[in-house]
Amino acid sequence: MKLCLTAACAAVLALAVPAAASAATFVPQPPKPCYRSGEKVNLAGTGFTPSVVGGVTVASDNPDFTGGQLSSDATGAVLGELTLGQASGRRTSTYTATDTTNPALTASTQLTVSAVEVGVRPKGGRPGRRVRIGATGFTTGKSLWVHVRKRGFKRDFKIGRLKGPCKRLVGKTRILPRGAAVGVYRVQFDTFRRYKKSREVRALFTITVTRTFRGAAAASASALSTRWDRLL
């Protein structure tokens, strides 16, 4: 957690609150309509007991948020960096800062947090089959890209534009070409044109292509099939 206890930070916070205000305040800086899971957000507050280390606790009705503590400066202002969490889906939750010296000093703010998710349907079938893609939480860019890798094979292309505050996309696309070779393909969804294995915000899958036989008579009766598996 990063804390700001300088006079400059206190001045910035004071500009956002009328001088006559006496109630505690607690807001994100800068505010956003939607945050992704794992994103760090600056939460700023005023009106708390001055000069207390770890004197303001932050809790939420979101069970995926681990909470935190903030320290106040000489003016009673706090500014700390906390990590948001959302295991799945999207949720708007209340985040409350409470002064441990004087529990009557509390302030709350609401934040919407989305998990970084990609859903694929169907998860089987022949290579080259178009699949339905549903994605959300990719707040690091404007478009969703897919990168497919296997030894001797690579493919990179844009699926479509992300829309809405939580950066959602629904569409259909063909991930593998028809007649793709048997083997395991690594599939990475992110918001970048260029492939980089270590992207922080991504969704990972493998596609396993196998040859199945409809009859034991001959190889001419065989066909290729795929299976999708999500990687953590």
Give pLDDT tens digits for 121-168.
999 999 999 999 999 999 999 999 999 999 999 999 999 999 999 999
Q: Are 83 and 18 in contact (CB under 8 A)?
A: no
**What is the phi/psi pair of residue 68, to 5°?**
180, 175
- 117-231 under CATH 1.25.40, yes or no: no
Q: What is the pLDDT of residues 24-57, one digit of tens each?
A: 999 999 999 999 999 999 999 999 999 999 999 9
Q: Residue 98 corresponds to which amino acid?
A: T
Q: What topology does CATH give the domain 7-114? A: Immunoglobulin-like (2.60.40)
3-state secondary structure 42-109: EEEEECCCCCCCCCEEEEECCCCCCCEEECCCCCCCEEEEEECCCCCCEEEEEEEEEECCCCCCEEEE
Query: Would you list the domain boundaries of the chain?
Result: 7-114, 117-231
Check: pTM over 0.75? Answer yes or no.
Answer: yes
